[in-house]
């Protein structure tokens, strides 16, 4: 992973980041963030607002390339929960200068930056923005992410007391995000409000308080353990993060004779667990049950 440093620390006005650093470990990131602010993108040389020429001028109009996705977690999610959610993916994490410090009258919380190395270099600023937006919308509630993180000219302040982590995972997160960005660099957003409403509406035909299960869909108990193991692998590989996929899985599991506790395994928050309890009672028979289930697990 390559980052670009200013060799200044906590400098709000720095716009030149000409120093390139190769980050290969958590200790590399720790040392860099101890001494300097940094940006994740490479920029053209340019002229700042004072008319001074700068190398690697940090400005969205000067964007050249990037091979890292980045997010700034300012509150509402603990590092241990982040680690669990992103365990399948490669990332670096480093605590920010406000980590576990009171901020704007709020109690101390985990605050950190996360960096996701990409396999492919991005040379289109719009594509980078949409990948960042996709990362935010698919994996997080909007209030969790610092809204400035879709700015391609974003920089992160260093932190002399940072704690840094590296997770190798099973690969880059870009494979999960790219399907939601079309050839024009626009996001095919799976979590827009109208999309979620449409998904709920489509699922209403399966919803009824009087549940009827087809014997043809029910799966023998001896096979259920194997299926749940495969579903666990699919979940760690990024499946069921989208709301409609998650609901479809719940419908399928109930149709195939599983219990609501089996669905809990694929909930991401305590709120999801409570929602699952309520929605489980509304699911009714779907003729696609076992067919959909085996379609999911055949590659795991």
Full-model pTM: 0.61
**Sheet with 63-73, edge to edge strand ranges:** 41-43, 63-73, 112-122, 91-95, 164-167
Q: Which residues of 260-299 are buried (b: 16+ CB within 10 A; e: fewer)?
A: bebbeebbbeeebeebbeebbebbbbbeebbebbeebbee
Nearest to 110 by CA among 147, 143, 71, 79: 79
Specify the pLDDT at position 185. 46
Specify the pLDDT at position 189. 43
CA Rg value for the chain:
22
In three-state secondary structure terms, 18 is coil
In three-state secondary structure terms, 53 is strand
Nearest to 47 by CA among 17, 4, 15, 24: 15
Specify the pLDDT at position 180. 67
Specify the pLDDT at position 37. 97
Specify the pLDDT at position 300. 63
Residue 222 — φ and ψ, nearest 5°?
Answer: -65, -20
For residue range 161-200, list pLDDT tens digits in order: 999 999 999 889 988 887 666 544 454 443 343 333 333 2
CA dist., res. 267 & res. 160, Å (int): 36
Specify the pLDDT at position 50. 77
Sequence-ordered alpha helix ranges (H) in the chain:
26-35, 79-85, 125-139, 174-177, 193-203, 221-236, 243-255, 260-264, 270-280, 289-297
Residues of the chain with confidence (pLDDT) below 70: 141-149, 179-223, 268-272, 285-291, 298-300
DSSP state of 87: T
For residue range 189-231, list pLDDT tens digits in order: 433 433 333 332 333 332 222 233 333 455 666 567 778 888 8
First to last CA, the chain: 29
């Amino acid at each position: 992973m390559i980052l670009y440093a200013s060799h200044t620390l906590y400098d709000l006005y720095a716009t030149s980041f000409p120093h390139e650093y190769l980050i290969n470990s958590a200790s590399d990131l720790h040392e860099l963030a101890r001494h300097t602010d940094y940006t994740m993108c490479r920029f053209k040389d340019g002229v700042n607002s004072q008319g001074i020429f700068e190398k690697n001028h940090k400005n969205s109009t000067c964007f050249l390339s990037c091979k890292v996705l980045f997010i700034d977690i300012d509150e509402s999610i603990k590092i241990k929960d982040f680690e669990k959610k992103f365990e399948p993916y490669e990332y670096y994490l480093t605590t920010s200068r406000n980590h576990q410090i009171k901020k704007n009258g709020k109690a101390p919380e985990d605050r950190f930056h996360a960096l996701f190395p990409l396999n492919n270099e991005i040379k289109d600023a719009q594509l980078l923005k949409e990948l960042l937006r996709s990362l935010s919308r698919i994996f997080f509630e909007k209030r969790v992410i610092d809204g400035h993180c879709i700015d391609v000219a974003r920089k992160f302040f260093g932190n002399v007391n940072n704690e840094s982590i590296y997770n190798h995972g099973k690969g880059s997160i870009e494979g999960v995000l790219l399907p939601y960005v079309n050839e024009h660099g626009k996001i095919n957003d799976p979590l827009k409000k109208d999309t979620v409403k449409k998904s709920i509406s489509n699922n209403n035909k399966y919803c009824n308080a009087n549940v009827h299960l087809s014997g043809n869909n029910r799966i023998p108990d001896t096979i259920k353990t194997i299926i749940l193991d495969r579903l666990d692998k699919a979940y760690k590989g990024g499946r069921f993060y989208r709301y409609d996929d998650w609901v479809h899985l719940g419908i399928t599991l109930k149709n195939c004779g599983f219990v609501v506790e089996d669905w809990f395994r694929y909930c991401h928050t305590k709120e999801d667990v409570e929602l699952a309890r309520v929605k489980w009672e509304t699911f009714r028979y779907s003729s696609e049950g076992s067919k959909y289930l085996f379609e999911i697990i055949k590659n795991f």
